[in-house]
Amino acid sequence: MSVTNAAGFVAAGVVAGLKSTGKNDVALVQNLGPNKAAAVVFTSNRAKANPIIWSQQVIGDGIVEAVVLNSGGANCYTGAFGFQTTHATAEAVAEGLGVSAGDVLVCSTGLIGVGGQDFRDKVIGGVATAIPALNDDGGHDAALAIMTTDSKPKESVVQGAGWSVGGMAKGAGMLAPGLATMLVVITTDAQLGSADLDAALRSATRVTFDRLDSDGCMSTNDQVSLLSSGASGVSPSLEVFTAAVTAVCADLAAQLQADAEGASHNISIETINAVSEDDAVEVGRSVARNNLFKAAVFGNDPNWGRVLASIGTTDAAFDPADLDVAMNGVWVCRNSTPAADPATVDLKPREVSVTIDLKSGADRATVWTNDLTHAYVHENSAYSS
């Protein structure tokens, strides 16, 4: 049920004709309250789509009545007409639900440059279809509607003591920090204000979505929204609530990684004994973005030299002559020299782990990525055709 698992939420996913496949492509999630508090985290890309620009204004007062999402067009770099389309979409939702357009978040995903009159007409038509279809079992249909190159919907639920958190996500490529080419809606019936929601969401995304670096590319449309209905009447501690939101985000991030375009390996890169968490993240991200390393994993080649070369490009504190690297639990490099025979490393399974010991401190962090495959190149070379 994902976003409708929490009490006080209804959702719908409908066909508006944006996708050539004829599948669901417009989703709507409504918060029935009594609480309407929300928090949102946006892409850090300076090139922002019209829905991001709109939604950044909406969340200013911490109140959100509904979220409308479409796949099949990013409505990015479509000029003033595109922003007017975003505004018109929010107005259509507001009129149908009897709320203010200034309390409606708008999200779009798809090809940049798509957002003309035909796009507008189909999105507005989709809104008109979605409003009467809203129901408390519509979460799955909504999750289907936001898919683009995804092969499957992404949904997650965590139960608290008398309250719950549920979420849906889309994303299968351009997964990089500052969120990813993903749209995420998380709902809860816990009773919390917008400030607590914001703190919990930022804490959760920092260690989940922001460390998913599938291909080093950052989208223009990334948005993670957290809405509270307060319908349970329960107010958990911020610590307990943050843990639940983090669990949902981690689950959704893992599903995004597993569905990355064309990938044949899921790679977790854990950097240990770093001077700081920032150093550990920097090292892990450098390896995650090394195409030579990613290509080696695709070829089942435990080429640890490419790991050390990536570490060397960072500003992290370490001794280049004293680094250890393990792949799938086999320490193939000790003290920056060959150790165990790389032939003993089995990289055929989809799950691959890399451990990097900087021997410089006590902090650690994990970054997640995928290998670089022929299928990834093919899919992205033909994305707009």
Which residues are known catalytic residues? Answer: 181
Residue 185 tokens read as 């809606």
CA atoms within 13 A on the CB side of 104: 24
| Side-by-side strand order, sheet with 266-274 | 337-338, 330-334, 324-327, 351-357, 266-274, 363-370
- 10 Å CB burial of residue 281 (0-12, 13-18, 19+) is buried
Nearest to 30 by CA among 156, 134, 170, 183: 134
Question: To 5 degrees, how large is the angle CA 219–CA 220–CA 222?
Answer: 70
Question: To 5 degrees, how large is the angle CA 99–CA 104–CA 108?
Answer: 145
The answer to whether 77 and 109 are in contact (CB under 8 A) is no
The answer to whether 47 and 220 are in contact (CB under 8 A) is yes
The Cα-based distances of 3 to 156, 162, 167, 372 in angstroms read: 8, 16, 5, 32
Q: Where are the alpha helices (DSSP H) in 98-212?
A: 117-133, 139-145, 194-206
User: Taking the mean position of all CA atoms in its chain, how far away is CA 111?
Assistant: 17
